[in-house]
Structure 1
Amino acid sequence: MVLSVGKTQIGKENFTDRNKHSLIALLQEIQEQYSYLPEDLLRELAGAKKLALIDIYSVATFYKSFSLKPRGRRKIVTCTGTACHVRGSEKVSQELSRILGIS
């Protein structure tokens, strides 16, 4: 049996395992397909795994790699380490934000 929500299709047998590691793998698969974790899919996942929605959200918000809001297709990251800071990385970040019109 396959669970389909939008363009996501995941074998339902993967949903029945209450193991947190399988939950992380499922969240990664959803994140990869959507670039974020849609709420309706998290609700369906919670029901299928017989977990409270708050348990799904606690895992999704604990890991920085998961996003609950849609993201762009590209991710730009600037170095914030000490060596980069000394060489002016903050100015580079500000200029990128200005040029791209993002914050």
Structure 2
Amino acid sequence: MDFDDIFDDGLVKGAIRILVKVLRALLFIGWNLLFEVVGWTIGWPVWRILTLGKFPKEHIRNHEDAPWATSLIVDLTGLAILAGIVAWLSHYV
């Protein structure tokens, strides 16, 4: 029995499929955390300052209750600001 025979075994392929599904789930959780939590936390105070407290109406800790469009605007703003800060700081390092 050589390495190819072990890899061709259904048990190994099944284990690899399970591992890939677990890694995909972790990737989804990571992106979800980055996009929703980090983006909202950075974008929320920016929009509150720019609109003098009128947008978004949801509290900073209630990003799950925000409408889809509101969440998208605030999250993308936060991520854009984060990317801008990283790009700006990278010029000085």
TM-score by length of 2: 0.30
Larger % of helix: which? 2
Structure of larger gyration radius? 2
